[in-house]
Amino acid sequence: MIQGVLRDLSNGRVSVRKAGKILEGLPSLNLEFANIDCARLSRCGFPEVVYCEGKTIAQIRRIAREMLAHEGFLLLTRLSEPAYKSLKKTFPFLRYNKLGRAAYYSKKQVRPRTKKSVLVVTAGTSDIPVAEEARATLEIMGNKVSTLYDVGVAGIHRLLNKAEELHKASVVIVIAGMEGALASVVGGLVSKPVIAVPTSCGYGANFKGIAPLLTMLNSCAPGVAVVNIDNGFGAAYIANLINSP
């Protein structure tokens, strides 16, 4: 971002006063209740993402306004539908993935940065909200994404019938609750990185995702990495880094 502002200043596209206003507070912007990391794009290759659970609508609105002013980009995760509808009044251009509870906007048109693709796979239909968080994140990051839902080990033929799709992907994100066995199965079928996401879907002994988390961590299939419970965003971020040109 800093380099872009200096380039615009050098080319006469912005005035000294406007450039100073844009850069004011960098590398961070303190809003008292939040400290926005304005230099994350230049440092890490992607702007800061806003996790919305626990924040008031007023706080999210203020953070969003500053993020858009500095980055021209916004990704809000774990955003409830009522909160989205309230924010939509201020930011009418904001798009929303209802299942994934993710809202996003980019001033620049998002185009695929590479021909490499990510396949998001779920064991069951109940895992789809986590998968949709991953899909929304991947798309706003400029990745080609395809999905394969409800192909868990209870009916393994459903997965095996889609073997071609598994092998086409450059990275596979596997999302599963219950006992979480699907990640090991996929890891044993493909030669690509597998990012496993345990979900909190399941009966009592699932322990709100602890059981599949332990299963995935103990996978005997090489090439399987694991993120935290229900963390579709985290899996997508890693997949994006793997596929970065």
Q: What is the pLDDT of residues 178-214, one digit of tens each?
A: 999 999 999 999 999 999 999 999 999 999 999 999 9
Quick check: 94 and 119 in contact, CB under 8 A? no
Domains and CATH numbers, the chain: 2-106 (no CATH), 117-243 (3.40.50.1970)
CA gap 210, 179 in Å, rounded: 9
Query: In the structure, what pLDDT confidence band is assigned to residue 67 with cuts at 50, 70 and 90?
Result: confident
Q: What is the pLDDT of residue 180?
A: 92
CA gap 147, 172 in Å, rounded: 10
DSSP 33: S
CA 213 to chain centre: 19
Quick check: 83 and 57 in contact, CB under 8 A? yes
pTM over 0.85: no
∠ CA 151-152-157, nearest 5°, is 65
Quick check: 216 and 226 in contact, CB under 8 A? yes
Provide the mean pLDDT of the chain: 88
Q: Which residues of 25-59 are buried (b: 16+ CB within 10 A; e: fewer)?
A: ebeebeeeebebbbbbbeeeebbbbbebeebebeb
CA gap 82, 6 in Å, rounded: 39
Given a cut of 70, whether residue 21 has pLDDT beyond it is no
Quick one: average pLDDT of 8-24? 73
Quick one: average pLDDT of 2-18? 75
Top pLDDT among 15 and 79 is at 79
CB contact set of 153 (below 8 Å; sequence gap of 6+): 123, 159, 181, 182, 185
Start-to-end CA span in the chain (Å): 20
The backbone region for 156, taken as left when phi is positive above 0, alpha when psi lies in -120 to 50, beta otherwise, is: alpha
Given a cut of 90, whether residue 107 has pLDDT beyond it is no
Residue 68, exposed/middle/buried by CB under 10 A (0-12, 13-18, 19+)?
Answer: middle
Residue 147, exposed/middle/buried by CB under 10 A (0-12, 13-18, 19+)?
Answer: middle
